[in-house]
Amino acid sequence: MKKVGFFRSIHLKFVLIYMLLILITMQIIGVYFVNRLESNLIDNFKKSLYERVDLLEYLAREEIIKVRQDEDPTEKEAIRKVLQDFVASDIEEVRIIDNKREIIGTSDQNNQGIVGQRTTEGSVKRVLVIGTEENHQYIDNTTGHRIWILTSPIKNNGEVVGAIYLIAKIDTVYEQMNEINSIFTTGTAIALAITAVLGVLLAQTITRPISDMRKQALAMAKGNFSRKVKVYGYDEIGQLALTFNNLTKKLQEAQAMTEGERRKLSSVLSYMTDGVIATDRKGRVILINEPASKLLDVSRETVLAQPIVSVLGLEEEYTFDDLLVEQNSVILDYSTMDTHYILRANFSVIQKETGFVNGLITVLHDITEQEKIDMERREFVANVSHELRTPLTTMRSYLEALAEGAWQDEGIAPQFLHVTQNETERMIRLVNDLLQLSRLDSKDYLLNKDWVNFIEFFNRIIDRFEMTINQNITFTRNFFSDDVYVDIDTDKLTQVLDNIISNALKYSPQGRKVTFSVVEKEPFIEVSVSDEGMGIPKDQLDKIFDRFYRVDKARTRQMGGTGLGLAIAKEMIEAHNGKIWATSVEGKGTTIHFTLPYDPSLEDDWS
C-alpha cells in the first residue's frame, strides 16, 4: 500500500485545524477589538478637541464682543494671542471668523495674510447661516495625511456672532491603531507558533494510536496478526485500540480456522476420486480438481472461465438454467467405437439464505466399469437362462414322449433316456461351473498350495489325455528342463489344464497336432497349449475369457461346452498371481498362454 506523506497525514490536519481555529478566533477578536478601539480613540480625539473648542469659543466670543463694541483693532491682537495659546501638535490651524465671514484670526503663523479677508469655506457660510456645527474628514492628496475639519458657531445670547474653523490632523489616531495592529499581529503570530507546537504535541496523543492501528491494519492485510496496538490511555481512542486488538485476535482465529478449512477442502478435493467442478453464478468454471481434469481429459487452464455446459459437452441438450433445476443424474457418454467411457454427473446448487444462486457444484463419477458389470450381469443372467432352458426344453420333450408311451418302445426309449441323461449331466456341469465361479468371485476359497515339479505334473495330465483321446491327433512337448518347481494348488491347476487341453482337442481337426510348451522367463514360467484348429478372429481374442463367450456357439453347444471353462481358468491363474492370454491366426490355430511365479533359487530345496 502507498505510504501516506506528511502533507496528507492526519497529524498535519490536526495541527492545521488547531492553528486555523486560533487564527479565526484571533481574527474575530482582533476585528472586534480594533474596531471598538478605533472608534474609542477617534471619539476621545474629537472629545478633547471639542473641549478645547468650547474654551476657545468662550474666549473668542468675549473678544469678538469687545471688537464689536469698541471697534478697537488692537483687540484683534488679543485674538491672535488666544489662538497662539491654542496651537497643538495635532491641530494644524484654527481660524476665527466673524458673522460677516471675515477672518479675524488664524493660528498659523505662516498664513497671517488671510486675516481680514473673507472666507470662502462653504461650511463656514452654512454655520453662520444655520448656526449648527459641521465636521468632516478627508485625506490630503498632497501630503497623504488624514484631516478632520470642525466648523463650530460662536453664539452670544442665541445670536451667531462668528465661527471657529479648526483643521486637525487625525493621523495620530491611525498611527496608534497601526501600532496596535502590529502588536496584535505579532501576538497572533506568537500564539499561532505556540499553538502549532502544542498542536503537534496534542495531535501526537491522538494520531500515535491511530498511526499504530493503521500499521496494524496494513500488517493484517498482509496476513500478519502478531502485532498489537499499544494502548496509551483509556479514553475513547484507548478503548478503540483495545477493541482493535481484540478484533485482531478474533480475525487471527477466524483466519486460522478458515485456512484450516481451506486446507481440508483442498486436501479433500485433491485426494477424492470423484471429480468436482464449481461454477460462478453465470455458469463459468471457477474450480476444477485433478480427478475431474483427468475424467474429462482437459487441462485446468483451458476450462477455467468456460461455461460448464461446454466443458461437459451438454450445450446441445441443456442450458445452465436447466442444470440448476436438474434433480436427476445426467449420464455423459463419451464412448467410441473402440472403448466404452461413461460418466455420471450430479449437480448441487449453491444458494444464499435469500435464495440467490451463487453457483453450481458438479460431481463426476466414472461409471464405465459399473455399466460394464451391469451389462455383463445382464448377459450372464441371459446366458445362464439360455443354457438352462435348452437342456430343460430337450428333457421335457423327451420325458413327455416317454410319458405318452415311448418308454414301451425298446428301440426308442433307451435313446430318449440317453439324451435325457446327457442333458442332465450337462446341466450338472453348468451348475458346478457356476458354483465354482461364485466361490472364486466371493474370494472365500483357499488355495492348497504345495511345491510341485511342474514338468512332471504337466506330463501326467498330458499322458492322461493322450491315453483317452479317440482322435487322430499328435501331442508334441517342448520343455526346457525336466525339473521346474513351482508353488501351486495342483487341483486348481489340473482343472485349468483340463479346460485348456479340452478346448484344444475340440477345435483340432483330425491328423493335426497339439503342442505343449514350458518356457522359463524369470521370475515366472510361461506355459502354452497350441492347436491347429480354425483359429479365433483377432477382435475376439480378449473376449474368449468372458463368461459364456463362444466363438462358434453352435459347435460349442454341440460338443457340450458351457462357455465357462476359460473364465474359470482365468480366475484360477490370477489367484496364483499369474496371467493368461491367447494368440491366434485364423485358419492356422490358437495358443493359450499362462504364467506362474517361478524362483529357480528354491529348486535345490525341493529337487
DSSP collapsed to 3 states, 172-220: HHHHHHHHHHHHHHHHHHHHHHHHHHHHHHHHHHHHHHHHHHHHHHHHH
User: From CA 486, how far away is CA 497, in angstroms rounded?
Assistant: 15
pLDDT of residue 594: 93
pLDDT of residue 214: 77
Q: 413-442 and 565-575 helices cross at what angle (nearest 10)? A: 30
DSSP letter string over 523-573?
TEEEEEEE--SS---GGGGGGTTSTT--SSHHHHHHTT--S-HHHHHHHHH
Of 79, 74, 49, give the one whose Cα is nearest residue 62.
79
User: From CA 391, how far away is CA 398, in angstroms rounded?
Assistant: 11
Catalogue all structural domains in the chain, each as residue range(s) with its CATH number: 10-176 (3.30.450.20), 223-271 (no CATH), 276-363 (3.30.450.20), 371-442 (1.10.287.130), 450-606 (3.30.565.10)
Of 534, 573, 571, give the one whose Cα is nearest residue 556.
534
Q: Is the pTM of this model over 0.85?
A: no
Q: Are 564 and 548 in contact (CB under 8 A)?
A: yes
Q: Are 117 and 104 in contact (CB under 8 A)?
A: no
Kindly list the averaged pLDDT for each block of 10 residues, start to end, along the chain of length 607.
54 77 83 84 82 80 68 64 72 83 81 82 86 84 80 84 85 80 84 80 74 78 76 76 83 82 75 83 88 87 89 88 85 82 88 82 86 71 67 76 75 77 73 66 70 90 84 85 85 86 85 89 90 84 73 49 74 88 88 89 58
Q: How many residues does the chain have?
A: 607
pLDDT of residue 530: 92
pLDDT of residue 225: 73
pLDDT of residue 554: 44
Q: Are 170 and 146 in contact (CB under 8 A)?
A: yes
User: From CA 322, how far away is CA 41, in angstroms rounded?
Assistant: 93
pLDDT in tens, 257-293: 888 877 877 777 777 778 888 898 888 998 888 888 8
Question: What kind and span of H or E run contains 373?
Answer: helix 368-403
Residue 346 CB-density burial (10 A; 0-12 exposed, 13-18 middle, 19+ buried)? middle
Residue 480 CB-density burial (10 A; 0-12 exposed, 13-18 middle, 19+ buried)? exposed
pLDDT of residue 250: 86
Torsion 555-556-557-559 (CA) sign? positive
User: From CA 401, how far away is CA 395, in angstroms rounded?
Assistant: 10
Neighbours of 182 (CB within 10 A): 10
Q: 47-79: string of b/e by CB count within 10 Å (b at 16+)? A: eebbebbeebbebbbebbeebeeeeeeebbebb
pLDDT of residue 14: 73
**Cell, residue 561:** 461346452
Backbone angles phi, psi at 491, to 5 degrees: -65, -45
Neighbours of 397 (CB within 10 A): 13
Q: Are 324 and 360 in contact (CB under 8 A)?
A: yes
Strands 474-479 and 513-521: parallel
pLDDT in tens, 104-155: 888 877 888 888 888 888 888 888 888 888 888 888 777 777 888 888 888 8
Side by side, the strands of the sheet bearing 134-139 are 103-106, 91-98, 159-169, 146-156, 134-139
Half-sphere exposure of 281 (CA within 13 A, CB side): 6
Q: Which residue has the cell 510348451?
A: 517
**Cell, residue 204:** 501526537
Measured CA to CA in angstroms, residue 337 lies from 298, 334, 341, 369, 431 at distances of 21, 10, 11, 17, 35
Neighbours of 350 (CB within 10 A): 14
